[in-house]
A and B are shown apart, each in its own frame.
Chain A
Amino acid sequence: MITRDGDKGKMLTRRAMMLAGGELFLSSVLLGRMYYLQVLESDRYKTLAEENRISTRLLAPPRGLIFDRFGVAMAQNNQNFRVLVISEQTEGNLNATLEALNKILPLTESEIQRIRKDVRRSRDFTPVTIRENLTWEQMAAIQLNAPDLPGIIIDEGLSRFYPFNEAAAHVVGYVGAVSEEEIASGNPLLKLPGFRVGKSGIELEYNTALCGKEGAQRVEVNAVGRVIREIERDEGVPGAVLPLTIDMRLQKVVYEKMKKESGAAVLLDIYTGEVLALVSTPSFDPNKFNRGLSNKEWETISTNKKNPLLNKALGGLYSPGSTFKMIVALAALEAGVIRPDTKIFCGGHIMMGSHRFHCWKPDGHGNVDLKEALMHSCDIYFYEVARRTGIDKIAAMAKRFGFGMPTGINLPGERSGLMPTRRWKEVILGEQWLQGDTYNAGIGQGYVLTTPIQLAVMAAALANDGYKVKPTILVPKNRDTTVCLGEDLNISKTYLQLMREGMFNVVNAPKGTAKTARVNVNGKLIAGKTGTTQVKRISMKEREEGLRRQDELPWEERNHALFVAFGPTDNPRYALSVVIEHGGGGATTAAPIARAIMEAVLTLDPASESPGTLKKNTPMEGI
């Protein structure tokens, strides 16, 4: 027995040793694994732990402000009060809190449903927006009742505000919610809820600079995403402040004069190309776009046949009509087909083969020279001059003045217009150029299409002795207003002087066509040229029955009314173009508006004021 028990004991001892060895081996496996995880792989796991712990949140910098040339805010950021609810702080009763809030700030049933849905979807410590854009009174009422509203908080944000509403809408443009395509561009800021981007005007053109550079907040979060504390914060770079060349005083005058019409007006500094006012009517309230339009509002705007969303100053195409006659005259003088004193007889109409071309004055103007032809805007004279010059030379001169191509203004939505040539007609329309086409081009009709800003640039070039300026709407860095920034068109100063005299007579001569535009501000006068373009062809029958008065026609059939002007005539500084769609006649509709605008600009004379009056505006690098 004892021996056998002894064997049993020896076996136990031996096996226990083996077991201990095995346990030691397994323990060394554990030690090896600890070494692997905590030494060899430690850096990787440290990174992963940091990724767990740290969450980076983007901070949207405030959008850059937009000022006019004298520092008047055209786009600003207003404080926006929002009311939010944090469900975990509602003492377990969201409904009671909402009911209490409802007594102070009436909520609609659909709002309550949306809030409930949002609360269900988000973590209970995440604030859910109840309503934005609270009035001061609503905000104060909620704060006063705060003890009865557990979980309700008031939050302050910034929202874009355009103090001039419709008046500068096409210049500043507006901001709106980010679209799907814009998100695809990859800018992380665009994914922030409630972030706004420029949709038109300056807001669109300089969107990147206005947005600024995103800031970031690094916070420590726990496993369910609750923020425990802030680790660091980078506020980013606020959006650039943009000083515009616009003079809001003039902009308002122009808008007030234009708002009842459908059309556009552009007021330029003839030496710098700075846009002092740029208006397109009818306009829209950009604040409504920022807030978000209701379906009904959108419908009203988008179906309006006067097209409020189109910036007609840059994107509206119009036949220049008689405002084009200076171009034809310059082309003819340069070609040598006429001299300033060449007289041409106007009998009211001219025959071209079997076709009859009429002057606007059925009785005709008799024998007229160039200055008289401009003053009376005689069509027969220019038919003949155009015939002698030929379309190629007219088109060449027009192109020197910038017609048929964008002016390059730093605003979106500009169109080129059209300056027809033989080649253009053959290639695009597949038709032969006809003599009649040249006649029509001679009085700025037919295929010729221009934008109001091109007309303003033309008027500026006539006024500044032949320099084509590039219009700009942003005050450049190191602005020098003493140098003409235009491109020399190499046109005889004598001829240009002749044009200016002709335009002076249009306004100031007793028989001028645009006496309605006459201005006298302390002896400062203006010069100009009217234009009236047919929208509908006048048939022979109508002509025989006697022309109907424009205001008896339906709006869509009335003539477009145009006027280009510059002033003061002794030492020009400002150029203007006005286009009134279906306004009836240049002299009757466009000229009085131009008169009011020129009167204002000559009175205020913004260009004479030092450009250094810009306050707190620091243009950003690279603009």
Chain B
Amino acid sequence: MITSDFSPFRLRDPNLTLKERFLNLSWCYIFLIFLVAASGFVVLYAAANGNWEPWASRQFYRFWMGCAVLFVVAMIDLRFWLKYAYIFYIGAVALLFFVEYFGHDAMGAQRWLNLGFIRIQPSELMKIALILALSRYFHGSSLQEMMSMSAIVIPSFMVLIPVALVLKQPDLGTAVLMGAGSLTLFFLVGVQMWKFAALGVAGLISIPIAWRFLHDYQKERVFTFLDPERDPLGKGYHILQSKITLGSGGVFGKGFLQGTQSRLNFLPEKHTDFIFTVLAEEFGLIGSVSLLLLYLALIFYGYVIAFRSTSFFGRLLALGLTTNLFLYVFINIAMVMGLLPVVGVPLPMISYGGTVMLTLMFSFGLIECVNVNRDVQIGRRGAYDD
């Protein structure tokens, strides 16, 4: 049994009052979230050449909406999320199907679902739903089961169905995030290393086959990644300008609102996927390292919360969501620095975008929920069955 000296016995009771839950929130974690979000507003303000409009102000309102989501999600009983994990999963898959046929066309890809008052990206919701569903599934399995071959089949399908749907949209970034996130969960619960090795080998073999199913623009992105300078004004323009922007910042940066690359629009998509370069140009190495350290602090705190939790579901959920955050950060920064192909992954909390902000706040809410319910015991069979 894992017990904490800091947790009163009362907290082991799952039926906490709202006040108890509120007091149990990790304010340190919330503080870190606020810090990242605040730097996001600053960078979006700079990306608009020193204007709150059009990005920073809207991002600001969305953040407060996200805060509301965070608190609501954190206040709900962790067993509720366990109980309805599959329902969310099925709902998210259904939405993905739905956008496939009724979605809005943005940038040549069907990713949006217009609900009239808000446009949502089901693929973002899908990431969280998948982590929830897998956490529930593994929560219910024994170590032996997880190490057996048969037990991997069902969760594998749980992963493959949404990944296939997202790929079809096509949204390579989300597919990579979901695939990598799920693999991490498989890894965490103890699936043997040789199975990952086998998957790796199978993956290498299937690359030529998968290549044929990639869209032309996705192939181009891979080519561009391999040699960005082969077409500096065309396909390689993004990544080349991105590196120029980053590199020209130097150690101390050009100063707030002094970034020539962003101010003179040499940087495409500077408010979304390439927002990191705006920060790096104006605040230099100091700025970019600081932001990375801030993210690492947030991730580290995610681990702390996971290890504080006494329930397997809670731990796995916190670890899965934290890993998801790490993957966002790593893929985005590696992408803008030319270490990975441009796959369209935003920088969490900083890139301009509503759905991503809301789903991130949703996942932070779930992590807080794990923190609130850290001493709550949850039986193997599920939510209320003890």
**Residues of A with Cβ closer than 8 Å to B?**
1, 4-5, 7-9, 11-13, 15-16, 18-20, 23, 26-27, 29-31, 33-35, 37-39, 41-42, 44-46, 48-50, 52-53, 220-224, 228
Contact = CB atoms under 8 A, between A and B. Distances in A.
Contacts of B190: 8, 11-12, 15
6 contacts: A8-B142, A30-B330, A45-B244, A48-B248, A220-B260, A221-B264
A223 B144 contact: no
Contacts of B26: none
Contacts of B146: 8
Interface of B: 2, 142-144, 146, 184, 187-190, 241, 243-251, 260-261, 264-266, 280, 284-285, 288-289, 292, 296, 299, 303, 306-307, 312, 315-316, 319, 323, 326, 330, 333-334, 337, 339, 380
Contacts of B280: 34, 38
Contacts of B266: 49, 52-53, 222-223
Contacts of B315: 9, 12, 16
B247 to A, nearest CB: 3
A426 B285 CA distance: 86
Given A15-B189, A27-B292, A7 B247 contact: no
A37 B247 contact: yes
A20 B250 contact: no
A34 B296 CA distance: 15
Contacts of A30: 292, 330, 333-334, 337, 339
A13 B319 CA distance: 10
A34 B280 CA distance: 9
A52 B337 contact: no
B275 to A, nearest CB: 15
A19 B323 contact: yes
Contacts of A9: 2, 312, 315
B104 to A, nearest CB: 28
A5 B243 contact: no
A38 to B, nearest CB: 4
A222 B337 CA distance: 22
B241 to A, nearest CB: 8
B248 A45 contact: yes
Contact of A39 (B188, B251, B292, B303): B251
B187 A15 contact: yes
Contact of A37 (B184, B188, B246, B260): B246
Contacts, number: 139
Contacts of B241: 52
Contacts of A4: 142-144
A5 B190 CA distance: 12
Contact of B319 (A16, A41, A52): A16
Nearest to A221: B264
B189 A46 contact: no
Contact of B339 (A5, A29, A35): A29
A578 to B, nearest CB: 65
Q: Which 3 pairs across A and B sit closest by C-beta, in order of nearness?
A: A45-B247, A49-B248, A222-B264
Given A4-B144, A222-B264, A16 B248 contact: no
A52 B316 CA distance: 48
Given A8-B143, A27-B292, A38-B246, A16 B303 contact: yes
Contact of B284 (A11, A38, A53, A220): A38
B251 A53 contact: no
Given A8-B143, A13-B307, A27-B330, A41 B247 contact: yes
Contacts of B189: 8, 11-12, 15
Nearest to A35: B285
Q: Which residue, of A1, A7, A49, A221, has the highest number of chain B Cβ atoms within 10 A?
A: A49
A230 to B, nearest CB: 15
B381 to A, nearest CB: 11
A39 B251 CA distance: 6
B319 A31 contact: no
Query: Secondary structure at chain B's binding surface: helix, strand, loop or mixed?
Result: helix
A1 B312 CA distance: 14
B315 to A, nearest CB: 6
B357 to A, nearest CB: 23
B251 A52 contact: no
Contact of A31 (B249, B289, B323): B289
Given A4-B144, A11-B190, A12-B190, A39 B250 contact: yes
Contact of B326 (A23, A34, A41): A23
Nearest to B2: A9
A260 to B, nearest CB: 63
A220 B144 contact: no
Nearest to A33: B337
A16 B244 CA distance: 37
A401 to B, nearest CB: 67
B184 A38 contact: no
A33 B288 CA distance: 11
A35 B337 CA distance: 11
B312 A38 contact: no
A42 B334 CA distance: 17
Given A19-B319, A52-B261, A222-B264, A42 B248 contact: yes
A33 B339 contact: yes
Given A16-B188, A45-B243, A223-B266, A38 B249 contact: yes
Contacts of A53: 260-261, 264, 266
Contact of B264 (A18, A45, A48, A228): A228
Q: Which residue, of B248, B284, B299, B333, has the highest number of chain A Cβ atoms within 10 A?
A: B248
B337 A46 contact: no
A13 to B, nearest CB: 7
B187 A39 contact: no
Contacts of B246: 34, 37-38, 45
A224 B233 CA distance: 12
Given A1-B380, A16-B319, A30-B337, A42 B251 contact: yes
Contact of A34 (B285, B312, B323): B285
B244 A48 contact: yes
A223 B247 CA distance: 18
A23 B297 CA distance: 12
Contacts of A221: 264
B265 A223 contact: yes
B348 to A, nearest CB: 14
A7 B292 contact: no
B278 to A, nearest CB: 13
Given A45-B243, A45-B244, A53-B264, A19 B184 contact: yes
Contacts of B334: 29-30, 33
Nearest to B252: A38
Contacts of B323: 19, 23
B142 A34 contact: no
B188 A12 contact: yes
Contacts of A16: 188, 303, 306-307, 315, 319
A552 B249 CA distance: 90
Given A37-B247, A42-B247, 7 more contacts: A12-B189, A12-B319, A27-B330, A31-B292, A38-B247, A48-B247, A52-B241
A18 B190 CA distance: 11
A37 B299 CA distance: 25
Nearest to A27: B296
Nearest to A53: B260
Contacts of B260: 49-50, 52-53, 220
Contacts of B330: 23, 26-27, 30
Nearest to B277: A37
A12 B191 CA distance: 10
Contacts of B184: 19
Nearest to A51: B244
B43 to A, nearest CB: 16
A30 B144 CA distance: 37
Q: Which residue, of A20, A29, A34, has the highest number of chain B Cβ atoms within 10 A?
A: A34
B373 to A, nearest CB: 17
Nearest to A47: B248
A52 B247 CA distance: 14
Contacts of A52: 241, 244, 260-261, 264, 266
